[in-house]
Amino acid sequence: MNKHNRFILPFLLGAAFFFASCKKEYYTEADFASVKKIDTHTHLNGENTGISEQAKADNFTILAVNVDVPGYPPLDEQRRFALHQIKSVPGTVSFLTAFTLQGWDSAWTARTIPWLKESFDQGALGIKLWKNIGMTYKDSTGRFIMVDDPKFDSVVQYIIDQDKTIMGHLGEPKNCWLPIEQMTVNNDRHYFKEHPEYHMFLHPEYPSYEDQINARDHFIEKHPDMRFVGAHLGSLEWSVDELAKRLDKFPNMAVDMAERISHLQHQSLADYDKIRNFFIRYQDRLIYATDSEIKDSYNSDDVRKQVHETWKADWKYFVTDDKMTSENVNGEFKGLKLPRTVVDKIYRANAMRWFKMPG
C-alpha cells in the first residue's frame, strides 16, 4: 500500500462509519412505512373500517376512544362499534370506554361500576373523561360538577384496582377563553367559531380556564396511583413550560398530542430549541395521537386519504428538520428531527407503557 492510500483508507472508513451512525441515530421520511407506530386517539363511530384499514396499511395500531359527547352514538353503541372494528381488522384496534354523568344525583356510582366492569371484561384498556365534566354537567343544585368531586373517588379507585388507564380531556385550550381573532392557531379559530357553546369567552358565567386546570391537577394529586394521560397536551398546549411543571410534579401523568401539534409548531416559531429540548427531556411522557374520526356516513376513501396525509405530515415534522407549513399555523416552522430513540417512544413505547397497548 502506498503512502497516499495509507491515509485515504482510514478517512473513507471513518466517513462511512460516521454516516452509518447518523443514519442509525435518526429516521427519515422514507422510514414511515417500515416503523411500527401507534395512534392513541381516534373515534371510530361506526362500522366503517376506513381508518382501521389505513392504520394497518401504514403500520399503525390505533386506540378507539369512546366518549360521552352530544351528537355521538350512545356509549353502548360506541362500544359495539369498537368491538366490530377489533374483529374486522384484527391486530389493529384497541379501545377505551367511557361513562355518562346522567343520573348523577341518584345512585350514579352503583350504576357506573358495573358498566365499567362489563367494558373491561370486553377488553377496554381504560376510560375517557371528557370536558363536559367541568363545562356542561351540573348537579341538582345547579353547581358545575368538577373532576375532583369526591363522588368520583370510588369509581376512580375501581379503575386503578383493575390496572386501567384514565384519559382526561379536561378543560379546553387556553384559546377557548379568548376572542376568535386573538387565538393562536387556526384550528382553534375554526372549532370555536363552529361550536360557540364551548367558546368560554362567550360564557363568563362558566368555570374559568384556571378553575378547570386546578380541578384537574387536584384530581391527579388525589390519586397518585392512577395512570393518567392528559388528552390534547393536558389542556396546557399553550406553554411547554407550564406542561413541564405538571410532568415534574405528577409522575403518574403523561399527555397525548391529539389535535394540538399545531400549538407546538406555533410555539416553535418563537423558540425552536425550547420545543425540541422539551421533547427530548420528556420523551417518556409524550404520546402520539391525532383525534381522527370516522362515521358510517363518511366516505371511506376520503377519510383514508386524510388520515394518511396527517400521519405522514406529522412523521415528517418529528423526524426531519425540513421547513414546513400547515393550514393551522400562520408562519413557516422547522421539523424537530428527533433522535430515533425519542421517536420510538412517542410513537410506540409510551403507548404500550401508559395504556398497556399490545406492541
Domains present along the chain, CATH in parentheses: 36-355 (3.20.20.140)
Beta strands in 200-243 (DSSP E): 227-230
> Closest Cα partner for 350 from 63, 22, 86?
63
Check whether 10 has a pLDDT greater than 90.
no
| Amino acid identity at 79 | R
- For 268-286, what is each residue's pLDDT tens digit? 999 999 999 999 999 999 9
User: How far does Cα 212 stand from its chain's mean position?
Assistant: 18
Other CB atoms within a 10 A radius of the CB of residue 132 amount to: 18
pLDDT at 6: 56
- For 339, residues 6+ apart whose C-beta sits below 8 A from its C-beta are 25, 26, 280
- For 46-73, what is each residue's pLDDT tens digit? 999 999 999 999 999 999 999 999 999 9
What percent of the chain has pLDDT above 90? 93
> Closest Cα partner for 172 from 195, 153, 139?
195
- For 204-237, what is each residue's pLDDT tens digit? 999 999 999 999 999 999 999 999 999 999 999 9
* Burial (Cβ within 10 Å: 0-12, 13-18, ≥19) of residue 317: buried
Helices then strands, each counted (H, E), the chain = 15, 11
> Closest Cα partner for 309 from 59, 58, 61?
58
The pTM is what?
A: 0.93
- For 73-120, what is each residue's pLDDT tens digit? 999 999 999 999 999 999 999 999 999 999 999 999 999 999 999 999
- CA-CA distance, 230 to 256, in Å (whole number)? 6
In the three-class reduction of DSSP (H, G, I as helix; E, B as strand; rest coil), residue 238 is classed as coil
Check whether 1 has a pLDDT greater than 80.
no
The confidence band for 359, taking pLDDT boundaries of 50, 70 and 90, is confident
The confidence band for 24, taking pLDDT boundaries of 50, 70 and 90, is confident
Check whether 20 has a pLDDT greater than 60.
no
| Amino acid identity at 45 | N
